[in-house]
Structure 1
Amino acid sequence: MARKFLYVVTGLVVLVIAALLAYRLWGMQIIRAVMVPREAFVAIAPLPANAYDDPKMWIARPDIAKDNPALWTPEGVKDGHSPEKAPEKAAVFFIHPTSYITTLGDAHWNMRLDDQESLATARRFVKNQASAFNAAGSIWAPRYRQANYGAFLTDKPAAEQSLAAAYRDVAQAFAAFLKANPQGPLILAAHSQGSHHLLRLLRERATDKGLTDRIAAVYAVGWPISVEADLPALGLPACARRDQAHCIVSWQSYAEPADPSAVIESFERKPSFTGKPHKGTHMLCTNPITGAFNGAAPASANRGTLDARDADKPTRLVPGIVPARCDTSGVLMIGQPVDMGPFTLPGNNYHVYDYALFWADVREDAKQRLSAFLKK
């Protein structure tokens, strides 16, 4: 009996090892097979022209005082959002990343606005990401009919169609944001799919000096940007140092040993904003600890990482957890893998944690760039 039990245990161990090996070798292929929607793309109707006049279409905006996730700060942070609208504050437009993640038969190409599970996840992203900016200004974070996560795993025409549909909502929300904030400095921030839409906004408005002159900083995090082939079309340069305003910040986080090949291959395959090929160009990497273009910083300089692993305990801000080094590949290396939770992607990709790893550094960065902007 004992021997039979050992055989069963041994068999289970072998299966687990085989599964882990298969995931390591074919992780992205497995993810694509499960998560790319199988239905045909169905166009979604435009929202009403005044849709974003309704506070219910926003996860966060200044007049939402109750249950506003963007107002959150971890315990011990003393420079939290002030409800008084002061002239030195910015209006912050934040586009949340993909929270619509489905498998197999449940998948649509675009999220429905009544999808409560995806909305709850989006609210968590706003809490853990957009909150980093609440010391620099009042945050506006729209709901939008985002593209399914699977849209980023395929070259099917439906993927681009779903992203275009999502962008239409974002552009409409941005117009409402500008209408409500006709003057003063702006901070534009996003992550992942949100950064994809934010960069399109910048490209389409690059010649609008009335807008670009108001931008204190852009945080297009978790999305590759070519220094040579994309930046020239965006109307703003890369941020070279932390005391610089009117510039763009971006990084993509990986632990070592890193395998960013999936991101690089997709980046090189996609068209650029200038029409030049991406291949052979450099991805923008801002070191979030120093605020500088490229470079390295030790873990001891990291002002604070969000630790939200224990759902039963408040999220903690812990300094000195990870270093940051911009690699020649264009991605940001954070040293050896750290336990941030269950959402590390294949290749030691810490994409989900791009903001959380450097939450306190982003907070300081936004304050300093706004200060530099106001001194102009």
Structure 2
Amino acid sequence: MIYFFVMIIGITLFFFFNQFTLLLFFLFAMPLNNFSIDDIPDPYNYSDNESWSLVESKYPRKNGVLYENLKGKSTAVFFIHPTTYFSRGNWNQPKENERSIKLIRERIIPNQASVFFPCCDVYFPKYRQANIYSFIASKKNSKRAFQIAYDDIRNAFAHFDKHYRKGRPFIIASHSQGTMHANKLLKELSGNQAIMSDFIIGYLVGYKITRKSVYPLTICQDNTEVGCIVGWNTVVQSGFKIFDDEDLICINPLSWKEDETFISKQYNLGSMGFSGWFGQTALGEPSLFPIEENLVGARCNGGSLEVETIDSNNYPVRLFALHAYDYGLFFKNIEKNVDVRIDHFFGRSIEHN
């Protein structure tokens, strides 16, 4: 009898290992109490540069330039980061949570936001993001936690629009929880012609984005269209999916089309991996890997972006399928596409090799 139960458990774990691992991960992050207004962290003051992880692609406190030749950028990027708060202590991240700040500095900025450094001034607000457990929590708790997070994003964008953008065209880019908030923000902004006339594109990556959710905005249909949205969720072919919905938007970043045509790895201009969430070199710098050209091909299938088996050890973080590498696997293609869309927005006819 014991052998029978062990066998059943073993078979269950074999077929549902990813789901079981995710459940444990969420349980370890589950707040100890229900959401309470008494526990809401203090809000950010976005007129203070310390409330931003990046201002003009620089760290505000150290004023450390992250990319050379930063002056003269004609375009601004408002970047909304993914979930980096996994503590049981609160439903929303307190302002000075060191683990979250470390993850943003060492992973999210280098592997995601930095793709926009060559073209644009990047503005990266801190916000009281919802604890990752909010994604599976009761609606009563999760709705309140996500609303606190979104209120910060709305306030940050208002400051960005009034004081940082300075009339320049802008891009909204995001990942995961950040994309949830970006979707809501763009819907609110959609009726404001004064702002949206300067909107170039939304890179809304790594979340449940559908035509219905982004309406009245539209989905980009090629690599040059502006005033529209692109997005995708990366998975290994026939592998585990964190979002399994055929209605999800899937724009292939190797072709910038929505069809299900397979695009071979020869069109992948370069991928950037990382060894783990908190890995560092001996000098304390993020241990990002070099750009790898022609690493993987991809195709949209059933709402997900399927990639071939990755012939590299530089992409080991697989808890949420390939969610962590939604930007990194297509890093150089995104970088090039941003330039193309900016040029088309300004009406420039420039040949991009």
TM-score bracket for this pair, using the shorter chain length:
0.7 to 0.9
Corresponding residue number in structure 1 for 2:323? 351
Alpha carbons of structure 1 residues 187 and 24: separation in structure 2 relative to 1, 3 Å? closer
Which 10-residue stretch deviates more, 356-365 or 285-294? 285-294
Alpha carbons of structure 1 residues 314 and 169: separation in structure 2 relative to 1, 3 Å? closer
Provide Cα deviations, 1:239-263, integer angstroms capped at 9, x if missing partner: 1111211111100000022232x52
Shift of 1:20: 6.1
For residues 1-376 of structure 1, what are the structure 2 equivalents within 5 Å? 21=14, 23-24=17-18, 26-43=20-37, 44=40, 47=43, 51-62=45-56, 64=58, 72=66, 82-86=69-73, 89-102=74-87, 106-123=88-105, 124-180=107-163, 181-227=165-211, 229-233=212-216, 236-260=217-241, 262-264=242-244, 282-294=247-259, 295-309=261-275, 311-312=280-281, 315-327=289-301, 329-337=302-310, 339-345=313-319, 349-375=321-347
Corresponding residue number in structure 1 for 2:3? none
Alpha carbons of structure 1 residues 69 and 131: separation in structure 2 relative to 1, 3 Å? farther
**Conserved in 2, the CA contact under 8 Å of 1:96 and 1:194?**
yes
**Conserved in 1, the CA contact under 8 Å of 2:41 and 2:93?**
no
Alpha carbons of structure 1 residues 337 and 289: separation in structure 2 relative to 1, 3 Å? same
Alpha carbons of structure 1 residues 162 and 300: separation in structure 2 relative to 1, 3 Å? same
**Conserved in 1, the CA contact under 8 Å of 2:81 and 2:174?**
yes
Alpha carbons of structure 1 residues 150 and 340: separation in structure 2 relative to 1, 3 Å? farther
Alpha carbons of structure 1 residues 231 and 314: separation in structure 2 relative to 1, 3 Å? closer
Shift of 1:67: 7.7
**Conserved in 2, the CA contact under 8 Å of 1:60 and 1:68?**
no
- If the length of structure 1 is used for normalisation, what is the TM-score? 0.79
SS at match of 1:292: coil
Distance 1:356 1:303 in 2: 11
Corresponding residue number in structure 2 for 1:272? none
Provide Cα deviations, 1:68-100, integer angstroms capped at 9, x if missing partner: 89964xxxxxxx5522224xx211100111110
SS at match of 2:272: strand
Distance 2:126 2:330 in 1: 25
Alpha carbons of structure 1 residues 202 and 330: separation in structure 2 relative to 1, 3 Å? same
Shift of 1:364: 0.6
Shift of 1:335: 1.5
Q: Which AA in structure 1 matches 2:243?
A: V
Q: Which AA in structure 1 matches 2:70?
A: P
Provide Cα deviations, 1:140-165, integer angstroms capped at 9, x if missing partner: 00111100111112333111110100
Shift of 1:337: 4.8
Distance 1:375 1:185 in 2: 13
Q: How many residues align?
A: 326
Q: Which AA in structure 2 matches 1:189?
A: A
Alpha carbons of structure 1 residues 158 and 345: separation in structure 2 relative to 1, 3 Å? same
Uncovered stretches (5+) of structure 1, i.e. residues with no partner: 1-13, 73-79, 268-280
Distance 1:288 1:158 in 2: 35
**Conserved in 2, the CA contact under 8 Å of 1:81 and 1:137?**
no
Alpha carbons of structure 1 residues 342 and 307: separation in structure 2 relative to 1, 3 Å? closer
Shift of 1:341: 3.9
Distance 2:146 2:64 in 1: 25
Shift of 1:18: 8.1
Distance 2:188 2:236 in 1: 34
Uncovered stretches (5+) of structure 2, i.e. residues with no partner: 1-6, 282-286, 349-353
Q: Which AA in structure 2 matches 1:372?
A: H
Distance 1:115 1:138 in 2: 26
User: What percent of counterpart residues are identical?
Assistant: 26
CA RMSD of aligned residues (A): 2.7
